[in-house]
Amino acid sequence: MSTSSPNPQATDFDRWLAQEFAQAGAFTALIVLVSIGDAKVLPLCSTYLNVIGTETDWNEIVVLFAGSGQEWDGASFFPVTDGGPLDNPTARLRLRALEARIDQSPLVLNEGHFFDKWGRRLKVEETELQ
């Protein structure tokens, strides 16, 4: 009999993905890549992907994001399900609505699951510039 123990190499992202899939089953993740400056978080680009299992890890996500051609510092994932993954037209519409909300307030990134380049959790905080 073998028992599996948690992977000590797992990132916050890997643990989140496993937990999200265990709770929701297959889902669509709306994703926004951002750059992070001293006092600003700027959206760079967005995409979506259908999650149908937990085989993907953070390293594979980083390779996927390399295809964007963007120098990114963080990514926020917004899981969405309507009884399973969304169809492409619905995912595109939801992604555009999400982009509009983020353009109004970068704090919306906190409504998703926000990770840095190393798969560690992040949070956008309000700051006052002096």
Sign of the alpha-carbon torsion through 127, 97, 21, 119: negative
pLDDT exceeds 70 at position 8: no
Residues 74-114 pLDDT 10s: 999 999 988 899 999 999 999 999 999 999 999 999 999 99
| Domain map (residue ranges) of the chain | 12-116
Residues 15-37 pLDDT 10s: 999 999 999 999 999 999 999 98
Q: Which two tokens stand for residue 89?
A: 């037209």
Q: Which two tokens stand for residue 127?
A: 């700051």
What pLDDT is attached to residue 82?
84
Helix (H, G, I), strand (E, B) or coil at 18: helix
What pLDDT is attached to residue 2?
32
Q: Over the Cα atoms of the chain, what is R_g?
A: 15
What is the strand order of the sheet 41-51 is part of? 41-51, 27-36, 74-80, 113-116
